[in-house]
Amino acid sequence: MELQSSILEIAEQVKKRVVSPVELTRDCLQRIERLNSTLNAFITITAESAMSQARQAEQDIQHGRWRGPLHGIPLALKDILDTAGVRTTAASALFKERIPAEDAEVVRRAGLRPQLLPGSAMAPLARIRRVLFASPRRYAGWCA
C-alpha cells in the first residue's frame, strides 16, 4: 500500500474500515526496513509489538470500539521519551542498552499506550541540546 494521504484522511479510512491498521503497520514497517539504512531514522524497531497492537486495534474497530483519530495509526516517538520495555537511548552511546521500566509522563498523559509504536525515532544529540538548553525566546515555537 502506498500512502499519499494526510493522517486525518487515513484515520477516517481506518474508522470506516477502508484501510486496516494491520495494512498500515505492515506498510510502515516495510518502509522502515527499506529506508532506515539510508535515513537512519529509527534506533529501535519494535515490529512484533507494533503488529500485535495493530491486530488488536483492528479487532477493536471491527467491534465498534474506535477510540479516536489516532486509533490504529502507527506512530513513532522520539528516542528521548521513555517507553516501558523498549530500548530508549537518547541517541547516546551512554544509554545504548537502556530499557526503561515505565513510560514517560508525556507518553502516559497523551494516551499513547497502547498505540502502534513501530519503534523509537532518532533524536540527534545536537537537537536535544538545543531543545533542553537553548533560550526559550530564541526557539519560541520550534520543537524537535
Please tell me which of 10-14, 37-41, 72-76, 138-142 the model is most confident about, judged by mean pLDDT.
Answer: 10-14
Q: Indicate the residue type of 135.
A: S
The whole-model pTM stands at 0.76
**In this predicted model, what pLDDT tens digit does every residue of 19-44 receive, in sequence order?**
999 999 999 999 999 998 998 888 88
> What does the pLDDT look like over 78-115, one tens digit per residue?
888 898 898 999 888 899 999 999 999 988 887 776 56
Residues of the chain with pLDDT > 70, as a percent, come to: 79
Between the CA of residue 62 and those of 12, 14, 15, 44, 49, what are the distances in Å?
14, 10, 9, 30, 20
C-beta neighbour count of 95 within 10 angstroms: 15
**Boundaries of every domain in the chain:** 7-75+110-133
